[in-house]
């Protein structure tokens, strides 16, 4: 199914109640991580701009575009955007492969009394993989997944989440330049029609895409 870009103005940079304090404390801990050199354990970890990320989420929420209020961040790190989504009324989940970052996000959420769930797993569900070549990342699908059978896709789930992937209404990711096409392809493969993907790009802007049916293309 194709993706439709959602036009965003991103002019409202307001935060939910407690959002500024949440970001400030998260940034303090992230700064300490980088100053200690411990960030070298996670060479691909780079936090997004939470104001721009939340501006996109807030805008689509105000426009009532999401199907529901389930949110998932791919590569959540310290969970800043996941926490903001929770404050905005979403059931919020963060997916992160690095156990130390998951534990840091959980500790931050506990200390700040933010209700969010962080799962130490890959955002590639069972039946999917990826490879890097020619300066880009590419999606690999098991043969049984290539048919995009709706029943099979509906059963996909991330370990540690109380909902299935088909129940996720909004996805957020900060991809590297090499991953930008890859994350859209993955989203198209596993999300339900009507779900929304927000991508924050390194140039400092967020973009949003909605999965639509072939008949709407």
| pLDDT at position 146 | 67
> Does residue 190 register a pLDDT over 80?
yes
> For residue 147, what pLDDT band results from cuts at 50, 70 and 90?
low
The model's pTM: 0.93
Residue among 46, 45, 85 at smallest CA distance from 198: 85
Tens digits of residue pLDDT in 191-203: 999 999 999 987 7
Asked whether 115 and 86 are in contact (CB, 8 A), the reply is yes
Q: In which band, very low, low, confident or very high, does the pLDDT at 153 lie, cut at 50, 70 and 90? A: confident
Query: What is the helix, strand, coil percentage profile of the chain, to 5?
Result: 40, 20, 40
User: For the chain, which domains are there?
Assistant: 3-216 (3.40.50.150)
Phi, psi angles (nearest 5°) of residue 43: -60, -20
The region that residue 17 occupies, defined by phi over 0 for left and psi between -120 and 50 for alpha, beta otherwise, is beta
Quote the radius of gyration of the chain (alpha carbons, Å): 17
Contacts 24+ apart (CB under 8 A), 134-140: 135/178, 136/178, 136/179, 136/181, 136/182, 137/178, 137/179, 137/182, 138/182, 139/182, 139/185, 139/186, 139/189
Question: Cα–Cα distance between 74 and 82 in angstroms, integer?
Answer: 10
Per-residue pLDDT tens digits for 50-61: 999 999 999 999
Q: Is the pLDDT of residue 90 over 60?
A: yes
């Amino acid at each position: 199914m194709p993706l439709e870009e959602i036009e965003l103005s991103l002019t409202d940079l307001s935060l939910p109640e407690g959002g500024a304090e949440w970001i400030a404390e998260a940034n303090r801990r992230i700064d300490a991580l980088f100053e200690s050199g411990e960030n070298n354990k996670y060479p691909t970890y780079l936090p997004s701009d939470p104001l721009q990320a939340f501006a996109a989420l807030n805008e689509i929420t105000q426009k009532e575009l999401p199907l529901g209020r389930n949110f998932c961040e791919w590569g959540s790190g310290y969970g800043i955007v996941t926490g903001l989504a929770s404050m905005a009324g979403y059931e919020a989940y963060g997916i992160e492969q690095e156990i130390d970052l998951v534990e840091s996000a959980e500790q931050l959420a506990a200390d700040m009394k933010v209700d969010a769930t962080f799962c130490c797993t890959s955002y590639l569900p069972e039946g999917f993989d990826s490879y890097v070549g020619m300066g880009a990342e590419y999606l690999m699908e098991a043969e049984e997944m290539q048919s995009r059978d709706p029943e099979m896709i509906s059963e996909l789930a991330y370990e540690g989440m109380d909902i299935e992937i088909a129940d996720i209404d909004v996805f957020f990711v900060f991809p590297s330049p090499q991953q930008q096409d890859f994350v859209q392809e993955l989203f198209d493969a596993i999300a339900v029609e009507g779900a929304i993907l927000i991508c924050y790009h390194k140039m400092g802007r967020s973009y949003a895409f909605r999965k639509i049916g072939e008949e709407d293309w």
